């Protein structure tokens, strides 16, 4: 059962999309103060709900959030999502891989591990930054 996003969730999602880079909950609170979203628990709740809906991903190592750049549809729970973070400019490119999902699902089945979510973080330098460096 999915309910539509509420007003605060929409504001948080819009702020993340505007940002275009990973943002911490506190970056978002700063950004949303003028719109009346000030309480950290409100922002964390909204982020939780947006992650459940597959609209936002969490970068564990940065403790930051990014707006999803494509729709995962209803299969978000099982799809392997990879987020490639540029260490230079902080941009994030996202891709999904069925092959990768297959490998991980295969391992999980053999290990009898109930795999609920996969988010891979790749670190490196994006093509734009590599171009600039030349």
Interface contacts to Zn ion, rule CB under 5 A = 68, 86, 88-89, 126, 129
In three-state form (DSSP H/G/I as H, E/B as E, the rest C), the secondary structure along the chain is CCCCCCHHHHHHHHHHHHHCCCECHHHHHHHHHHHCCCCHHHHHHHHHHHHHCCCEEEECCCCEEEECCCCCHHHHHCCEEEEEEECCCCCEEEEECHHHHHHHHHHHHHHCCCCCCEEEEEEECCHHHHHHHC
Nearest CB to Zn ion, comparing residues 27 and 96: 96
CB of 36 to Zn ion, least distance (A): 28
Nearest CB to Zn ion, comparing residues 100 and 129: 129
CB of 23 to Zn ion, least distance (A): 15
CB of 108 to Zn ion, least distance (A): 20
Nearest CB to Zn ion, comparing residues 38 and 70: 70
């Amino acid at each position: 059962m999915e309910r539509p996003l509420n007003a605060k969730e929409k504001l948080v999602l819009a702020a993340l999309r505007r940002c275009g880079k990973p943002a911490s909950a506190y970056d978002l609170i700063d950004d949303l103060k003028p719109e009346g979203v000030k309480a950290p628990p409100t922002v964390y709740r909204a982020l939780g709900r947006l992650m459940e809906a597959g609209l936002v991903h969490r970068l564990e190592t940065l403790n930051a959030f990014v707006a999803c750049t494509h729709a995962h549809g209803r299969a978000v729970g099982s799809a392997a999502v990879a987020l490639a973070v540029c260490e230079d400019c902080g941009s994030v490119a996202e891709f999904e891989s069925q092959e990768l999902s297959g490998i991980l699902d295969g391992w999980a089945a053999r290990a009898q591990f109930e795999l609920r979510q996969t988010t891979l973080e790749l670190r490196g330098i994006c093509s734009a930054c590599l171009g600039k460096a030349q």
